[in-house]
């Protein structure tokens, strides 16, 4: 197993700060997604993870997770690189969710207007 490479103590402390902020952002984002999911699914509690191998409950997915060394080479092992990739993926996911959430809200408002006008 290769070690994670860091440049200096200052860079490590900066990465720790960045990761703590990212952790709070991701936690808030997931809570928002869970809220929307429960609203759409009528209160079902179980979220599932979907990938190219199928759909799994989150716990099963995490327990059977296998790192894809071809897609994510282990030689990119600096903390800065790892952090930047996490942030990049999170931002992409956040933008996608916001777009879909905005569409949902707009469609929901249209539906309310149609239902209101039919009365």
Domain ranges of the chain: 10-44+74-118
Q: Does residue 5 carry a pLDDT above 50?
A: yes
| pLDDT at residue 110, as a whole number | 92
Position 1 scores a pLDDT of 39
Nearest one of 88, 82, 77, 53 to 2, comparing CA atoms: 77
Say if residues 119 and 46 touch (Cβ distance below 8 Å). Answer: no
Strand 48-51 versus strand 54-57 pairing type: antiparallel
| pLDDT value, residue 45 | 63
**Could you say which DSSP state residue 78 is in?**
B
- Tens digit of pLDDT for each residue in 14-73? 878 888 888 888 888 888 887 887 777 776 666 777 877 888 887 788 788 777 777 777
Three-state DSSP class for 76? Answer: coil
7 — pLDDT class (breaks 50, 70, 90): low
């Amino acid at each position: 197993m290769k070690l994670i490479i860091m440049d200096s103590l200052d860079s490590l402390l900066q990465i720790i700060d960045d990761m703590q902020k990212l952790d709070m952002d991701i936690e808030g984002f997931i809570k928002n997604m869970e809220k929307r999911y429960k609203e759409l699914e009528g209160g079902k509690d179980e979220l599932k993870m979907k990938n190219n191998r199928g759909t799994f409950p989150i716990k099963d997915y995490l327990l059977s997770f296998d790192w894809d060394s071809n897609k994510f080479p282990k030689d990119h092992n600096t903390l800065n690189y790892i952090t930047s990739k996490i942030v990049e993926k999170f931002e992409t996911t956040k933008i996608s969710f916001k777009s879909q959430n905005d569409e949902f809200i707009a469609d929901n408002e249209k539906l309310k207007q149609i239902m209101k006008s039919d009365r």
